[in-house]
Amino acid sequence: MKTLETDALLSVVNEWVAIESPTPDVEGVNRVGALAARLIGAMGGRVERISGAPDLGDIVIGRIAGETEGPGILLLGHIDTVHPVGTLAGPLPMRIEGDRAYGPGIYDMKGGNAMAFAALAHLHALGKRPRLPVTVMMIPDEEVGSPFSREHIEREARAHAIVLVVEPSGEGGKLTIARHGIARYFLKTTGIPAHAGAYHAKGRSAIREMARQVLAIEAMTDYARNVTLNVGTIRGGTHENMVPLHAEAHVYCLVPLPEDEREVRERLMALKAVDPDVKLDVTPGLYRPSFVKTPEIQKLYDHAAALAQEIGYPVAGERIAGGGSDGNFTGALGVPTLDGLGVLGDGPHTHHEHLLISCLVPRTRLVARLFETLPV
Ligand SMILES: [Zn+2]
């Protein structure tokens, strides 16, 4: 599109949102990937796909030539969402209310992907190129921690000079210059089963033990340091009349600094069952390392903030984000990473997820200007 206009951008965003793509729905995720591939082709880019993870969609990579050669810009986005198929026809239909456009994944982060592609298409339509070569990388498994994509993201990041992430912006349009680490743990308790009537005293309850562990784990939360431990899922038992043999729980921990991650790991791995007859197993899961602001990231931020000022839509400051993104991997590698360049809005992962329509033109322009002007 030669001129960036709100209606045209909104209809582009809607194309992405209209395809439901929860992470486990391989077909849906790949349909979004196909849309991305088509758009890359239309702007003269080269498309690559990486497949092979069972039960996950493909990574789609687009390579766009720049005015110059050399290590370029890696633009990261994910094409999966947390919303199950049926959300569009059910609790979160696409609709507009005032300045808000609603839809599953519209804020996190199909709106951001659509803007990044529109920014590149805009330059292409004007006969311009990004200053550096741009690689767009669409990730199919971010919402489950990028188990398949991580190594591919890290390989691409090492070959690029700068990483831009079009995850949603913070409050008022803040850009993300650092992210806390995210650590996951799986807990399992194994008790002694017994009929809960006459033989109750012979049983050892896996659920009772898990309940004690949940309280101990949640008590490790320290808001002053932004360290939080959340037991997000729990299940156990088979029948109401049985002393339960098994219980399981998933723990999701926010660990701002590497030393917080070490401390939380040591404390969780040291947990002991209170009941000596119950077995407790703690297994570490996927970990997203924290990334912190470096002088290079500060330069990127300052440059983006100055461009946004020129455009007349200031960025409202910088923030350290609580949640993780694929930017954690690239930032932790030391590749200058500017995140949160996507849409403004609210309600990620909920049934009131929306973007602010008024941000579409200025934010797409900001991404286009970054492509035109980087490196700084
Ligand atoms: Zn996201």
Task: Report the distance separating Cα 351 and Cα 86, nearest Å.
Answer: 12
Q: Name the pLDDT band for 286 (thresholds 50, 70, 90).
A: confident
Taking the centre of ligand 1 as the mean of its atom positions, its distance from the CA of residue 82, in whole angstroms, is 9
Taking the centre of ligand 1 as the mean of its atom positions, its distance from the CA of residue 227, in whole angstroms, is 21
| Catalytic residue positions, numbered | 80, 142
Taking the centre of ligand 1 as the mean of its atom positions, its distance from the CA of residue 310, in whole angstroms, is 28
Helix axes 6-17, 111-125, angle to 10 degrees: 130
Q: Which residues contact 318 (CB under 8 A, 6 or more apart)?
A: 174, 175, 176, 177, 293, 301
Taking the centre of ligand 1 as the mean of its atom positions, its distance from the CA of residue 105, in whole angstroms, is 8
374: nearest Cα among 129, 204, 185, 146: 129
What length is written for the chain? Answer: 376
Task: Report the distance separating Cα 230 and Cα 282, nearest Å.
Answer: 15
Q: Which residues surround ligand 1, an ion (CB under 5 A)?
A: 108-109, 167
pLDDT in tens, 146-196: 999 999 999 999 999 999 999 999 989 999 999 999 999 999 999 999 999
1: nearest Cα among 62, 42, 45: 42
Q: Which residue has the tokens 């320290």?
A: 222
CATH homologous superfamily of 6-180+290-373: Zn peptidases (3.40.630.10)
Whole-number pLDDT of residue 264: 97
Cα–Cα separations (whole angstroms), residue 146 to 28, 32, 142, 339: 17, 17, 4, 17
- Percent of the chain having pLDDT more than 90? 94
CA dihedral 357, 361, 366, 370 (to 10 degrees): 120
Q: Which ranges of the chain would DSSP assign to H, the alpha helix?
A: 6-17, 26-42, 111-125, 150-158, 206-218, 258-269, 295-311, 327-332, 360-373
Residue 258: pLDDT over 90 = no
Residues of the chain with CATH 3.30.70.360: 181-288
Residue 17: pLDDT over 90 = yes
Q: How big is the chain by its Cα radius of gyration, in Å?
A: 23
Taking the centre of ligand 1 as the mean of its atom positions, its distance from the CA of residue 16, in whole angstroms, is 14
Helix axes 26-42, 111-125, angle to 10 degrees: 20
pLDDT in tens, 324-366: 899 999 999 999 999 999 999 999 999 999 999 999 999 999 9
Q: Name the pLDDT band for 268 (thresholds 50, 70, 90).
A: very high
- Percent of the chain having pLDDT more than 70? 100
Taking the centre of ligand 1 as the mean of its atom positions, its distance from the CA of residue 326, in whole angstroms, is 8
Residue 323: pLDDT over 90 = no
Taking the centre of ligand 1 as the mean of its atom positions, its distance from the CA of residue 147, in whole angstroms, is 15
pLDDT in tens, 36-80: 999 999 999 999 999 989 999 999 999 999 999 989 999 999 999
Taking the centre of ligand 1 as the mean of its atom positions, its distance from the CA of residue 280, in whole angstroms, is 33
Amino acid occupying residue 21: S
Yes or no: domain 181-288 corresponds to CATH 3.30.70.360: yes
User: What would the two tokens of residue 135 be?
Assistant: 């690689």
Residues of the chain with CATH 3.40.630.10: 6-180+290-373
Task: Report the distance separating Cα 118 and Cα 112, nearest Å.
Answer: 10
Burial 156-166 (b: 16+ CB within 10 A, else e): bbeebbbbbbb
Task: Report the distance separating Cα 66 and Cα 45, nearest Å.
Answer: 11
Taking the centre of ligand 1 as the mean of its atom positions, its distance from the CA of residue 64, in whole angstroms, is 23
Task: Report the distance separating Cα 233 and Cα 252, nearest Å.
Answer: 9
pLDDT in tens, 228-237: 999 999 999 9
Task: Report the distance separating Cα 151 and Cα 158, nearest Å.
Answer: 11
Task: Report the distance separating Cα 159 and Cα 333, nearest Å.
Answer: 12
